[in-house]
Amino acid sequence: MSLCRSVNMEQLRVLELYSGIGGMHYALKECRVPARVVAAVDVNTTANEVYRHNFPATPLWAKTIEGLTLDDFNRLDFDMILMSPPCQPFTRIGLQGDVSDPRTKSFLYILDILPRLAKRPRFLLLENVKGFETSSARDALVKTLKDCGYSYQEFLLSPTCLGIPNSRLRYFLIARALPESFSFQTTTEVLVAFPESKRGDSADRTPNSAPSHAPAPNSSKGRDEGRVLYKMETARDLEKKRCQDEDESVRRIQDFLEEEEEEEGGAGPGMGRYLLPPKTLLRYALLMDIVRPSCRRSVCFTKGYGHYVEGTGSVLQSCTDAQVETAYAALDSLTDEQKLLQLSQLRLRYFSPREIANLMGFPSHFSFPENTTTKQRYRVLGNSLNVHVVARLITLMVG
Ligand code: SAH
């Protein structure tokens, strides 16, 4: 296989920093590069339990990264770093502390260690939130890479570009130690799609380039398109969602759902517990992003999913005979009881953790230890990444 040839056949020694539940490890496995994770490092107890449960043979260091010494790093003798530093310092809700935020300390420590290592790793991949590209942490990373003799490429990618009906726009950087070069032409621009290989290697085919999350074409409805119709949505919002749902390069949500055993009422045993409670329905009805199994879209699932409603991920309409328009009709004029009666026709439920793991590309054999709660599962998944997107990037990086 061409991929093995280009990485010199021997097994790469991989260091997985901020390992969480092992999204990077699954991506590494998926792209079938001969490699072994020589250490995974994370401080989160729940995430570590999940990691250990799925990768019992991988050395997992439950300690802070800044607690590792230069000697510790040198002893690991690694060829590749895979890392997702905590993203709160770079997000809007994280107050944008950037490099002054204490949570950035461990990342700056890695940048400090890199030039001092006895052996420079050949490859480095970093994942972060959108917004990282304009942070000074990113500038510090790029400066360190240049000083240490790496070529690099930055990306902003969402799983939709691989035909997965889930938006999760993330920043990625891949770096390769010179004089080795990437199989594609690097650019100082942040790429928003996978590049084509110069080597014509089948391992990094260009994916369907149809930008499924592209803005809807301008509608001719003029002034009306910004007017709120039902829910809090404008004609423009609905048009955008309609376009996403018609993009056949993206799969349908139903391919990622758990089997629902037929039972009276729609949501079968097990899935019934994911139904939205009445209080949530009443309070957040207007803010929820609702998708049907036939849709080809869902919004990014974040760590507050199943707990906070606004902006944490889509909810599923599990009764497809009902119409959202009807369920939402004239809600304002109804009593709470009538509202609930009307809204409950839709049988709105949360996606289960397993379904979110499916959308994020985790293999079917990935599982949670029995003692982790649903809330903990949503939380660690929300912090994780899309495995297929990272697998493609690793392939591109080593190819
Ligand atoms: N890629 C991971 C998730 C990364 S989220 C996955 O697939 O699940 C960031 C992770 O960094 C969290 O799990 C958090 O516990 C860990 N973390 C944050 N600061 C850390 C530090 N200083 N040392 C070690 N781990 C840290």
pLDDT digits over 95-109, tens only?
556 666 777 889 999
Report helix, strand or coil for 24: helix
Report helix, strand or coil for 338: helix
In the CATH scheme, what architecture does the domain 3-209+386-398 have? 3-Layer(aba) Sandwich (3.40)
The Å distance, Cα 382 to ligand 1 centre, comes to: 12
pLDDT digits over 242-274, tens only?
999 999 999 999 999 998 765 555 554 589 999
Residues 6+ apart with CB under 8 A from 66: 105, 106, 109
Are residues 372 and 338 in contact, defined by beta-carbon separation less than 8 angstroms?
no
Q: Is 45 in the pocket of ligand 1 (CB under 6 A)?
A: no
pLDDT digits over 37-95, tens only?
999 999 999 999 999 999 999 999 999 999 999 999 999 999 999 999 986 666 555 55
> According to CATH, what is the number of the domain 223-380?
3.90.120.10
Helix (H) or strand (E) holding 327: helix 324-327
Please state which of the ranges 10-14, 218-222, 331-335 shows the lowest mean pLDDT.
218-222
> What is the percent of the chain with per-residue pLDDT over 90, rounded to a whole number?
72
pLDDT confidence band for 286 (50 / 70 / 90): confident
Please state which of the ranges 152-166, 300-314, 334-348 shows the lowest mean pLDDT.
300-314
The Å distance, Cα 62 to ligand 1 centre, comes to: 10
Q: State how far the alpha carbon of 247 is from the alpha carbons of 219, 244, 299, in Å.
A: 17, 5, 16
More confident residue, 203 or 246: 246
Ligand 1: residue whose CA is nearest its atom 13: 20
The CATH 3.40.50.150 domain(s) of the chain lie at 3-209+386-398
More confident residue, 259 or 356: 356
Calculate the CA 16 to chain-centre distance: 17
Are residues 287 and 343 in contact, defined by beta-carbon separation less than 8 angstroms?
no
Asked whether the predicted pLDDT for residue 223 surpasses 70, the reply is no
Q: Is 28 in the pocket of ligand 1 (CB under 6 A)?
A: no
The conformation of residue 275, written as its DSSP 8-state character, comes to B
> What is the percent of the chain with per-residue pLDDT over 70, rounded to a whole number?
83
The CATH 3.90.120.10 domain(s) of the chain lie at 223-380
Residue type, 248: E
CA angle 45/33/257 to nearest 5° reads: 60
Residues 6+ apart with CB under 8 A from 4: 33, 34
Asked whether the predicted pLDDT for residue 188 surpasses 70, the reply is yes
Are residues 23 and 88 in contact, defined by beta-carbon separation less than 8 angstroms?
no
Asked whether the predicted pLDDT for residue 203 surpasses 50, the reply is no
At 212 the pLDDT is: 36
Residue 367: CB atoms within 10 A of its CB come to 14
Are residues 129 and 168 in contact, defined by beta-carbon separation less than 8 angstroms?
no
The Å distance, Cα 86 to ligand 1 centre, comes to: 6
Q: If you average pLDDT over residues 201-223, what whole number do you get?
A: 38
Q: What stretches of 188-342 adopt beta strand conformation (E)? A: 290-291, 315-317
Q: Is 89 in the pocket of ligand 1 (CB under 6 A)?
A: no
At 13 the pLDDT is: 98
CA–CA separation, 29 and 247 (whole Å): 30
Asked whether the predicted pLDDT for residue 217 surpasses 50, the reply is no
Alpha-carbon Rg for the chain, nearest whole angstrom, is 22
380 Cα nearest atom in ligand 1:
8
CA dihedral 121, 58, 33, 43 (to 10 degrees): -60
CA–CA separation, 62 and 68 (whole Å): 11
Beta strands at 80-83 and 123-129: parallel, antiparallel or unpaired: parallel
83 Cα nearest atom in ligand 1:
1
21 Cα nearest atom in ligand 1:
8
The Å distance, Cα 81 to ligand 1 centre, comes to: 14
Ligand 1 mutation pick, 14, 18, 168, max ligand atoms within 8 A of CB:
18
At 222 the pLDDT is: 43
At 331 the pLDDT is: 87
pLDDT digits over 1-37, tens only?
445 445 555 899 999 999 999 999 999 999 999 999 9
Q: If you average pLDDT over residues 330-339, what whole number do you get?
A: 90
Q: Average pLDDT of the chain? A: 87
Question: Catalytic: 87?
Answer: yes
More confident residue, 228 or 231: 231
- Set 87, 148, 161, 300: catalytic member: 87
Q: Which residues of 83-122 are buried (b: 16+ CB within 10 A; e: fewer)?
A: bbbbbebbbeebeeebbebeebebbbebbebbeeeeeebb
284: tokens are 């957040």
